[in-house]
Amino acid sequence: MIVDPYTPIFVISVAAELADMHPQTLRQYDRLGIVMPNRAPGRARRYSQHDVDMLREVQRLSQSGVSLEGIRRIMQLQNQVDSLQAKVAELSELLQVATAEADARPSRSNSRVFAAGLTGDDIVALARGQRPRPRSQAVVVWRPQR
């Protein structure tokens, strides 16, 4: 049986033992926003295997001389990177599905393509074979903010 590494299953004493830390240290990291576990009913902390791995990384960084504020920022950025990588994977999967569906459909002459407008600033929707028109006649679907 494979356990999801993000499933909160460890109470604070077990997580502290697995991370080779004192439970009070885990409470401090939670207060500082470095490693924030999920909460069970009654507000009890529940740590996942991912949380324990993060605690070990915090310990490694701390032993390397990184301050707690630096560690908090590093962990925050790592969470952001993980989130963005998950979003890229999700969008890549959607693109594959859309591409497969488009390949399965017969080609239609009225399908749309997107091109830069005459000024190069706007993105316009065009029918296949249609040339970009002056801004007043084009359907602008995206314009960069200035």
Inform me whether the pLDDT recorded for 4 exceeds 70: yes
Q: How far is CA 51 from CA 23, 98, 101, 121, 132, in A?
A: 14, 35, 39, 45, 53
Q: Please, what CATH class does the domain formed by 12-104 belong to?
A: mainly alpha
CATH 1.10.1660.10 maps onto the chain at 12-104
**Three-state DSSP state, 141:** strand
* Average pLDDT across the chain, whole number: 83
- The answer to whether 58 touches 74, Cβ cutoff 8 Å, is no
- The answer to whether 29 touches 35, Cβ cutoff 8 Å, is yes
Report percent pLDDT > 90 for the chain.
56
Mean pLDDT computed over 86-99: 90
* pLDDT bucket at 70, cuts 50 / 70 / 90: very high
Mean pLDDT computed over 39-52: 92
Q: How many Cβ atoms sit within 10 Å of the Cβ of residue 133?
A: 13
